[in-house]
Structure 1
Amino acid sequence: MEGVPQTPPKEAYRAAMVLSGAGDALGYRNQLWEYCTSGPQIHQELQEMGGLSKVRAALPDWPVSDDTVLHLATAEALATGKDGEPLFQDLAKRYVEAMNDMEGRKPGPTSILGTSQLHPGEPNGYRIPFNPNATGCGAAMRSMCIGLRYPRPSDLTALVQVSVESGRMTHHHPTGYLGALAAALFTAYAVQRLPLERWGSGLLKTVPVALEYVQATAVESDSNVSAWAYFQEKWEWYLSDRGLADGRGPARFPPAYSPAERDVIYKTFSLDGWAGRSGHDAPMIAYNALLSAGDSWEKLCSHAMFHGGDSDSTGVIAACCWGIAHGFSGVPEGNHMELEYRDRMVTAADQLYDLAWGQRPV
């Protein structure tokens, strides 16, 4: 994280939160598309509806999933202005409470297990045991707003600590909670207007900072260190493949890149063949989509929300970062104006903006 960012418009924060929810609802499609294994099928069904501009993302057909419910829980805890242990306790409390709002939203088994192990209000009640299977994307998908709260280069220490602690409240495994770091960091980079080509290399420079924090807190650090390498190695592989290892670019994409071909490529990013399901590859697919989409909302949706994988979790991250850069420009009103919990998203965005930018000089 470099330089001193200019103060962004408040509308950028609102677009980040609201379009994140829209990306979730579109990628989820009330369970139909999150669990569809075929990007071409999703694109065909979208075409039969009349295209993206005809989609009215509203209840009952287009609810938000567990991703947005938990992202709002994170945002509303951060919006209190708390930090340190009081913040962590509040986050844990809100994650537990959020599990009461999961009817029809399909929360992941690791999030269900993790929240059942939290004991907010008790000493260290926001910490759960290391879980060798907690490699999923459930921490990544709810962490973008951490970058809205801590957007400056000088906020990096807080961003790392909050993303790691909040992430391992359910996903106590580096592949899981480093996904939270990636989603938060990329959002901060978007606020800073850092060129996209530099985001991945910036993440790899930040991962050792997270390792230092994990070792310093001494919470099952041996288990964490032994499981650490995969996240970094997979990102190194991806950046090399895209020609971005040095942070310069331009990004290099395959010449053939249709929905069917993207399904095959995205699987190569994955841990277990289900693209976007893990902590490393949900932000990876989101980043990949941002690199290829430019200022086109439709192209972003095609690449981040409409693929044969965990399409709501990749969409929720990509749309948040895109919203910061582009606002609501070019986004069909039907995609977001009647979105479930939209008012909460706007309120949280305003509160995070005021905390990040309204209380102190730039």
Structure 2
Amino acid sequence: MEVLPHAPSKEAYRAAMVLSGAGDALGYRNQHWEFCTSGPQIHQELQELGGLGKICAALPDWPVSDDTVLHLATAEALATGKDGELLFQEMARRYVEAMKDMKGRKPGPSSILGTSQLCPGEPGGYRIPFNPSGTGCGAAMRSMCIGLRYPRPSDLKTLVQVSVESGRMTHHHPIGYLGALASALFTSYAAQGLPLECWGSGLLKTLPLALEYVQGGVVESDSNSEAWAYFQEKWERYLSERGVADGQGPAQFPPDYNPTERDAIYKTFSLEGWAGQSGHDAPMIAYDALLGAGDSWEELCGRAMFHGGDSDSTGVIAACCWGLTHGFRGVPEGNHMELEYRGRMVSAADALYRLAWGQMSV
């Protein structure tokens, strides 16, 4: 087992899982902010609430959304220590079970359809047909913990396989399940301590491994291959715009990158005009926020959780990676200490840490 120069601590894993849930709850605001199309309006309402430091993300006003419920389903499946077919069946079972906990959480149409098609326990019951509309972010928003379970460079092949299989259990379209790969991969990069500026180029270098895996299977490889190019092309364009296509920094942002400007630019990333709604641009906006936020939780929230798009899905991804790097430093306790399902997040983090790193010191 190789030794990484910046192996994370157990506390970092806890911060990754818990702050991911916090990013979800903050971006969601009990449906109100996820479906608000104006970042400036959200920022104004935030100030009227007293600012980020005054928010206590707790029930009943600040529940987690479907994002965290499904992320926990992924994490708790991984925490069983199963692998291969047994793991995929376990994931499918937990996704189906998680859909019973969706009152007021607004799951997406592909998540609803996909879980209805799963038949966990039956041979191949974790696979569903190719879906031309399965382009949403529902796979990306629940897959960060795959990077916690498989954080090492030597885990890359497994990370690719698990993220693709888990993603297409509901989002059987490259735009959808490659979002799961991006979220998992970025989390593994955070665990490795890699510079942010190289994450995007690392994703592009990993896509051929994913294509090889998909084409080598028996699951409608032609349909997947035909729909493959969009995800890569959008990421190539984005990385070029930010000046990090070669994996070097610093990232280049527009001179006045305020909430109004971000709303407009985030829309240019999107598939159909709702920024962060799709598998390619939810991790893209999260990455954009991470590149610009540095070690500031408040800046991260301003960019990833408080914008006029799918703000809980971008927030859940960004906060996981940020927490893994920065821990709870500078995060108001009210943002996470009374979070719904916090205990489950901590337990899952501890289990994933043990599986990934053994009995290393914390």
TM-score range, shorter chain: over 0.9
| 1:50 maps onto 2:72 in alignment | no
- Distance in 2, matches of 1:70 and 1:22, equals 14
- Distance in 2, matches of 1:222 and 1:358, equals 40
- Distance in 2, matches of 1:80 and 1:254, equals 45
| 1:322 maps onto 2:322 in alignment | yes
- Distance in 2, matches of 1:97 and 1:116, equals 11
- Distance in 2, matches of 1:115 and 1:147, equals 23
Q: Which residue in the other structure is 1:176 paired with? A: 176
- Distance in 2, matches of 1:249 and 1:333, equals 32
Q: Which residue in the other structure is 2:124 paired with? A: 124
Q: Which residue in the other structure is 1:114 paired with? A: 114
Q: Which residue in the other structure is 1:142 paired with? A: 142
1:230-249 map, 5 Å? 230-249=230-249
> Quick check: 1:5–1:191 contact (8 Å CA) kept in 2?
no
Counterpart of 2:86, as a letter, is P
> Quick check: 1:4–1:153 contact (8 Å CA) kept in 2?
no
Q: Which residue in the other structure is 2:342 paired with? A: 342
Q: Which residue in the other structure is 1:9 paired with? A: 9
Write the deviation string for residues 152-207 of structure 1: whole angstroms up to 9, x where unpaired: 00000110000000000000000000000000000000000000000000000001
TM-score w.r.t. structure 2 length?
0.98
Q: Which residue in the other structure is 1:214 paired with? A: 214
- How many residues in Structure 1 have an aligned counterpart in Structure 2? 360
Counterpart of 2:307, as a letter, is H
> Quick check: 1:110–1:134 contact (8 Å CA) kept in 2?
yes
Q: CA deviation at 1:8?
A: 1.3
| 1:79 maps onto 2:69 in alignment | no
> Quick check: 2:7–2:193 contact (8 Å CA) kept in 1?
no
1:29-44 map, 5 Å? 29-44=29-44
TM-score w.r.t. structure 1 length?
0.98
Q: CA deviation at 1:3?
A: 8.4
Please, which runs of 5 or more residues in structure 1 have no aligned partner? none
Write the deviation string for residues 91-116 of structure 1: whole angstroms up to 9, x where unpaired: 00000000000000000011000000
SS at match of 1:136: coil
> Quick check: 2:270–2:281 contact (8 Å CA) kept in 1?
yes
- Distance in 2, matches of 1:35 and 1:107, equals 13
Counterpart of 1:24, as a letter, is D
- Distance in 2, matches of 1:339 and 1:219, equals 39
> Quick check: 2:24–2:67 contact (8 Å CA) kept in 1?
yes
- Distance in 1, matches of 2:314 and 2:360, equals 33
> Quick check: 2:12–2:325 contact (8 Å CA) kept in 1?
yes
Change (3 A) 1:283 1:114: same
Q: CA deviation at 1:47?
A: 0.1
Please, which runs of 5 or more residues in structure 2 have no aligned partner? none
- Distance in 1, matches of 2:319 and 2:187, equals 10
Write the deviation string for residues 236-260 of structure 1: whole angstroms up to 9, x where unpaired: 0000000011000210000011101
Q: Which residue in the other structure is 2:260 paired with? A: 260
Change (3 A) 1:272 1:356: same
Q: CA deviation at 1:360?
A: 8.8
SS at match of 1:217: coil
Q: Which runs of 4+ in 1 moved over 4 A?
A: none
